[in-house]
Amino acid sequence: TGAISSLQRQMEIQESKLRRIRSEKEMLQKQLREQEVQLQAVSDKFCSLTEEQKQEKMMVMMEEENRNLQQVVTEQESQLAEQNKLISELQETISQLRAEVVTTRLHLLEQKQAQKEIQSQAEALQHKELQTRVALERISTKFERYRSKIIQATFSMEGMQDPLGELTDDQVLEAMQKIFNERTELQQMLKNKSSR
């Protein structure tokens, strides 16, 4: 029963569609007949025109077509002017970009040159630093030998005690000052003695 009811509903829907299509067909046929009548009337009217009227009508149509063409040409000229303006702006932009590229390349070359100079100066400074270190080591070695000789000479004097551990520069100077003072006193005593 459900299947039959469903089929009946579908059939009713289809019949409704068919009626609507038939109605539309009749309306279209009516419109077609009306258009045929109008077309026939226009054709009859055109046929009844004289040759002069036909030429006049053709001139009107040509003038209309010329106006349309003129409008198209004007629009195309306007578009062409806009395109020319855009091309000019793009060419100007390209020129600016090329100039910027040239300037950037020059800056890069200058930076590379400056970097080479800095590298050369750094290498020269490193070489000078190495020479200075070598000279400093040589001077330090000489100074240590000279200091050792001074210490040896100072503490080998009679009456001087051997140093305990490593001496500072102040201790060495103090010992030398003591020897100097003692010699000065001794010379003074000898002078006094010789004068007496």
- Convert the pLDDT of each residue in 19-72 to its tens digit: 888 888 888 888 888 878 877 777 777 666 666 666 777 788 888 888 888 888
> Is the same domain home to 103 and 23?
yes
164 lies in some domain = yes
> Is the same domain home to 133 and 86?
no
> Is the same domain home to 110 and 157?
no
Domain count, the chain: 2
> Is the same domain home to 117 and 23?
yes
Closest CA to 154 of 139, 166, 171, 137: 171
Q: Tell me the CA end-to-end span of the chain in Å, nearest whole number.
A: 169
| Residue showing tokens 């009946």 | 8
38 lies in some domain = yes
> Is the same domain home to 58 and 111?
yes
> Is the same domain home to 108 and 166?
no
196 lies in some domain = no
Which domain range does residue 180 map to?
Answer: 126-191
> Is the same domain home to 97 and 182?
no
What is the pLDDT at residue 52?
Answer: 67
110 lies in some domain = yes
Task: Pick out the chain residues at pLDDT < 70.
Answer: 1-4, 46-54, 157-165, 196
User: Of 69, 102, 125, which marks where a domain is finished?
Assistant: 125
1 lies in some domain = no
> Is the same domain home to 15 and 108?
yes
User: Of 125, 150, 178, which marks where a domain is finished?
Assistant: 125
> Is the same domain home to 30 and 82?
yes
Q: 172 near 151, Cβ under 8 Å?
A: yes
> Is the same domain home to 102 and 162?
no
| Cβ count near 154 (within 10 Å) | 19
Query: Which stretch of DSSP H or E encloses residue 8?
Result: helix 2-48
> Is the same domain home to 158 and 106?
no
3 lies in some domain = no
Integer Cα distance of 154 and 25 in angstroms: 141
Closest CA to 170 of 153, 151, 146, 183: 151
Q: 178 near 157, Cβ under 8 Å?
A: no
What is the pLDDT at residue 49?
Answer: 63
What is the pLDDT at residue 95?
Answer: 75
**Torsions phi, psi of 167, nearest 5?**
-95, 145
16 lies in some domain = yes
Integer Cα distance of 179 and 158 in angstroms: 10
> Is the same domain home to 90 and 169?
no
Which class for 150: exposed (0-12), middle (13-18), buried (19 or more C-beta within 10 A)?
middle
User: Of 102, 125, 148, which marks where a domain is finished?
Assistant: 125
